[in-house]
Each structure stands twice: as C-alpha cells, then as structure tokens.
Amino acid sequence: MVKRFSILAIVSVIIIVVDQVTKSYIATTMYLHQSIPIIPEYFSLTYIRNPGAAFGILASSSSGFRMVFFLITSIFALGLLITIFVRLQPNDWWGQLTISSIFGGAIGNLIDRLQFGEVIDFLDFYINGYHWPAFNVADMAISLGVCSLFLLFAFEKRKPELSPQQPQEDVR
C-alpha cells in the first residue's frame, strides 16, 4: 500500500512543481495578455488569468461564489480520486499513474485559485485565428488523465459471467 501511495505522491508532486514553476515563470516574465509566438500561426505563449472553470465557465460569477464552488468541488474531486485510487488493483500501474496525473493537476489549479482567485493559463494553440482556450500544465495533466481513465474503463477486462447453462467448476 505504501508503494502505491508513493506513486501517487511522486507523480502528483512532479506535476504540481512543473505546473507551479511554469506558471510562476510566465507571471514574472510576461505581462498580462502578452503573447509570444513560438510556432507562428499555430502556437504562442499567452499570459491569461482565468477566473472560471474550463473554457471560462462561471467566469462572470462573483468571486466569492467561485471560491466556495471551486473549493467544494476540488475537495470532492480529490476525495473521489483517492477512493478510485485505493480501489485499483495493486498491479494496475497505468490506473495509478492516471489517477495520480488528475490528482496532481487538480491540486496545481487549486493552488492558483487559493493564491490568486483564478488560474494562470499560457499555452495558446490556434489555427487561422481560431483559438483553443488557453491552458496550463495542470490542465494538460487533468485532460490526459481523464482521457486515459476513459480508455481504462472502456477496455477494462471483466470476468465473464456464468450463464445458467454453464456448469460451475468444483472448487473443493
């Protein structure tokens, strides 16, 4: 059990540190809304602060409501992730990495919300002026983890159920 929680701790801490270091770098070296093209016409570093959730949802709500809402949902989500993590098979390393990734990303964004009341985003992908909403390392960890979780659930090996016609094995 300790080894499993070591995986959760190590992966989560790596994601949190990379997330917070990159956000700090952006916040201290760029001014708000500054954009630096990295791959012209496709990718820029753009310093944005998002007071809302994904895609700016709830951005126009009062800051007090957002703080309470995000604190409660974050605590609930982190508790749910720990529950899923504990229920994973001890040899399910992919599931453990997946949950650890989501967990680390959630904490990374929660730190921003508690510190600033909003999340620092800076990865800006676009084509012909059509921008995907800017995101950060924590968002990337959460998104990749959720996609991986869906794949894990979709391809989960289930024990076949015995039909009434099939004899059960004698396990004496």
d(CA 155, CA 150): 9
Between residues 50 and 169, the one the model is more confident about: 50
Q: Record the pTM.
A: 0.82
pLDDT number for residue 58: 63
**Widest Cα–Cα separation across the chain:** 73
pLDDT number for residue 5: 87
- Among candidate residues 19, 112, 124, 139, the one labeled active-site is 139
In a domain, 161, yes or no: no
In a domain, 17, yes or no: yes
pLDDT digits (tens, 9 = 90+) for 119-144: 999 999 999 889 899 999 999 999 99
Give the mean model confidence (pLDDT) for residues 109-114. 92
pLDDT digits (tens, 9 = 90+) for 55-98: 566 666 666 776 777 788 889 999 999 999 999 888 888 999 99
Expressed as residue numbers, the domain containing 16 is 2-153
In a domain, 171, yes or no: no
- Contact by Cβ (8 Å): 103, 81: yes
- Among candidate residues 19, 112, 121, 124, the one labeled active-site is 121
In a domain, 168, yes or no: no
- Binned at pLDDT 50, 70 and 90, residue 154 comes out as confident
Would residue 139 show up in a list of annotated catalytic residues for this protein? Answer: yes
In a domain, 89, yes or no: yes
Would residue 124 show up in a list of annotated catalytic residues for this protein? Answer: no
- Binned at pLDDT 50, 70 and 90, residue 156 comes out as confident
pLDDT number for residue 53: 66
In a domain, 172, yes or no: no
Q: List the single range of 9-13, 99-103, 136-140, 161-165 with lowest mean pLDDT.
A: 161-165
Give the mean model confidence (pLDDT) for residues 157-166. 58
In a domain, 119, yes or no: yes
In a domain, 146, yes or no: yes
The answer, yes or no, to whether residue 23 has pLDDT greater than 90, is yes
Q: What value, to the nearest 5°, has the Cα angle with vertex 19 and ends 87 and 102? A: 20
What six digits make up the tokens of 72?
């409660």
The total number of residues written for the chain in this structure? 172
- Contact by Cβ (8 Å): 42, 125: yes
Domain count within the chain: 1
